Chain A
C-alpha cells in the first residue's frame, strides 16, 4: 500500500464508522476539490452508492460557475442534494460589506445550523484537512459540537487507536472529518490517480487560477500557469504561498478562522 492507499483506507473506515453509528447523517459538499474527493471516497466506501444526503450551503455569493457545476453533477450522480440559503439574513441585506466575519457567520455558520435544526442531523461529514490552517490542525476525526454548534477546542476528548467518540448528549452533533490527514498535494495526486472530475476553476486561465473556492467577493485567484493536474502538483511543491491566501476572511485577523470555527464554521 502506498501513502494514497493508506489515506484512502483510513477515510473509508471513518466514513463507514460514521454511517454505522449515526442514522441522521449528511455530508457537506461545497463543489470544491476536497468535498468532491470526499464524495468519491463515499462511493468507494459504499460500493457505488452514496447512502446519505449532501448539503450545499448556498450563500448566494458563490462564484456562478460553481452553481452551474453543482447542478450538473447532482444530476449526473443522481445525488440527494439539500441546498440551503439563510433567506432571513439575505432579506436583511447580509453581505461582505457588513464585515467579512459577520457575513461568513450568518450565511455559512448560521445557515448550517438552520439545516441541522430542520433535519435534526446528529452527524455531518466535512472535507476539512489538518494542513489547511492552524485551528483545523487541532481537529479530531469525530469532533463534538454543542447545541449552538460551538467547538470547545481547549478541552477535546482523547481520540486514539481508531476508536472515535460516537456517544454524545442529545441536541449536540458530531462533525466527522475523514480527510483530516490529507494534504493539498495528496488531494491532487488522488484526483489524478482516480480520474475524479473537478470544476475547471482550479486550472489557470490568463495567468490566474483558484487554489481554494468560496464566495465571489471574498475569494481571489492566485498567479499561476498550471493548466494540468501535474502542473498544479509541481506548483504546490514549490509554492511559498498558503492554500487559503486567496480567502479574504482568513486575513481579517490573525486568529480569524479559529474564531469562526469556534462558533461552528466548517
Chain B
C-alpha cells in the first residue's frame, strides 16, 4: 500500500453563498458518493418539491434540510488520482461560528465561497479574518452563482477587485479566483463553455495545485507528555510527537524543570511494531534512563535545544466563541498541548471587529465572535513556542466553565507593566529597581529581573536592604538620573527624598535607582559625575551606555542566582 498524501480543505463563506452545494456538486460529479446517498437525497428533495439538492449530500440533519442551512461542520473524504482530500463544510451563519472554527482550525487550505451577485458579506469577512488568525495561508476564492450575473467577465473582475482589496488588509492573499456555478456544475469538475473568457483551472483541477505544508518532522523536537503508565514493570512516558524526531540513545531535557536524561527504549505493541526512530505525528511511548517523577504536561525536547519558551506571560491573537464574553481578571482554564493551567487575561490590548476591521484599544471585554490581541498570565509557568515557529506548541484553547470557548495563537513573550517599587514624599515619586532580584534562568538561558516588592515606601518606612541577590549598607543614598531625584536611606529606613539640585554629597555610598554602585568617593568625583549627567541626552542609548560603564559598578552590591 502506498502512502497517499492527505490535504484538509475547509470551505467557508457567508450563509447561502452555496458552500454545501459546491461540495455536493463536486462529490456528485466525481462519483464520490454512494448511489444510496444520492437516492436518499432524490427522495427527500422530491418530498420537499424541490430540484435535486446537492447540499443535502452534506447537510444530513433534518433541521438542516428543512431550513436549507448548515448547522454543523461535515467532513467528507474525496480523492483525485494525485491525493486524498478531507473536505470540511463549515456553516455560514453567525450563530454557528463556533462550528465553523471547529472545522477550519483543522484545515491546511481554504476555499472562500462568495456569491457573485451579493459580493462580500459580513460572514465572508469574518471567516476570512479567522482564516488569517488560524494561520491558513493557502486560499482560493470561489465566486459562485455566476449564472446570476449572466456569466459576465466584467462583473467577475469587479467582484474580484472588491474581494482582494478587503483580504489584503488581513494579509490574506488568495492564490486563485475561480468563477463557478455550483448548482449548474460550471467550472466545478468540468470546464464551463459559458465562460470562455476564463482561462484558469476548474475547481477540481485547482485542488491538486494546493501545496502541502512542510512536514513537522524537520522542526525541533516537541514531545508533550500525555500520560505516564505503569501497567507492568515498565514506566512508559506516552504522548504524541508534535514535531521533530526521536531515537533510542537521544539526550533529552524535560521542561519546565529542565531535568536531563536519555531515551532508553521506544515501547510498542504488538511485536512487529518495533521502531528505532519515531517522527512527528506518531503516538508513542518511551522509557528513559533516569527514574524521575514525570507527569502529564511536561514537554520533552533535545538536551541542547533552548528554543522552547518557559514563561507565565505571553501575547496572543485570540478568537472568542464563548456563551459569555471574555473578561479581564477572571480565572479561566488554558490548555496548550497537554498542559493545563489557570490563567487570566491581564490586558486586552486590542479588540477587532472582524467585519469592519475597526479596532478598539484597551477594551474591557471580548464579545462572542470577536477577535482580539491580548496578554495572558498563567498561574504556573508553561512551555510554548511562537505560533509561526511551531503551530502545535504555539496555540492554545481557553475553557470557560465546561466548554472550550476560544482559541489563540501566541505572538510572543510579554513584559507586563508591573506595579513598580517606589519611594515617595509629598508629590515626589521615585521608581526604584534596586530591590529587584536577578535570576539567571537556565531553561531560557538569560537573566531575568524579578520585582519583589510592588509597593511604595514613604519617609520613615523600613526598606529591604538585604535580598537574595543584593546587599546594601544600612545607610546610603539612591540616585535617580532620569527623574533627577535622590533618596536618603538612613539605618535601613527611607529618610528623605530631594531634587538632585538640592542634594549635598553626604560621603555615604551612592547607588543608582537600578541598584548599581556609583564609583563616587569624593565631592570632586561627585561634581564630575553631575556635570556629565547634565549633558546626557535621555534617548541616546550609546552615550548612556558609555556613561554607565564609566560610573557604575554592577557587582559591588549585586549578584545573580541560578534558577530553572
Spell out A's residues near B (CB within 8 Å).
1-6, 8-10, 12-13, 16-17, 19-20, 43-49, 51, 130-131, 133-135, 137-138, 140, 153-154, 156-161, 163-165, 167-169, 181, 183, 189, 193, 239-242, 245, 254-255, 258
Contacts and interface: CB of A to CB of B under 8 A. Distances in A.
Contact of B399 (A5, A130, A167): A167
B282 A1 contact: yes
B279 A1 contact: yes
A45 B283 contact: yes
A85 to B, nearest CB: 31
B60 interface: yes
B543 to A, nearest CB: 49
B72 A138 contact: yes
Contact of A154 (B71, B105, B283): B71
A159 B234 contact: no
Given A5-B282, A9-B283, A153-B72, A43 B2 contact: no
Interface string B190-216: 000000000000000000000000000
A109 B62 CA distance: 21
Contacts of B402: 157, 165, 167-169
B226 A160 contact: no
Given A2-B3, A240-B34, A161 B397 contact: yes
- The 5 A-B pairs of least Cβ separation, nearest first, read A134-B60, A240-B35, A160-B105, A2-B3, A242-B36
Interface of B: 1-4, 6, 34-37, 40, 43-44, 47, 58, 60-63, 71-77, 84, 86, 98-99, 101-102, 104-106, 226-227, 229, 231-232, 234, 236, 238-240, 267-270, 273, 279, 281-283, 285, 296, 321, 333, 335, 395-397, 399, 401-405, 407
27 contacts: A2-B1, A3-B4, A5-B281, A9-B281, A13-B226, A16-B226, A16-B283, A44-B270, A45-B283, A46-B231, A47-B229, A47-B285, A48-B270, A130-B75, A156-B72, A157-B403, A158-B403, A158-B405, A160-B105, A161-B395, A161-B407, A165-B402, A168-B402, A189-B1, A193-B1, A258-B60, A258-B62
Chain B interface helix/strand/loop/mixed = mixed
Contacts of A10: 283
A9 B236 CA distance: 17
B54 to A, nearest CB: 15
Nearest to B239: A16
A51 to B, nearest CB: 7
A1 B3 contact: yes
A44 B77 contact: no
A47 B102 CA distance: 31
A163 B285 contact: no
A10 B283 CA distance: 8
Contacts of B86: 181
B36 A240 contact: yes
Nearest to B391: A161
B296 A20 contact: yes
B231 A51 contact: yes
Contacts of A239: 34
A157 B400 CA distance: 11
Nearest to B398: A163
A242 to B, nearest CB: 4
A158 B103 CA distance: 9
B6 A43 contact: no
A245 B36 CA distance: 8
A134 B44 contact: no
A158 B283 contact: no
Contacts of B35: 240-241
A16 B99 contact: no
Given A140-B102, A240-B34, 14 more contacts: A3-B6, A16-B226, A19-B227, A44-B269, A45-B238, A134-B60, A153-B72, A154-B71, A156-B72, A159-B102, A165-B399, A183-B77, A258-B60, A258-B62
Given A138-B72, A159-B102, A133 B238 contact: no
B109 to A, nearest CB: 16
Contacts of B6: 3, 6
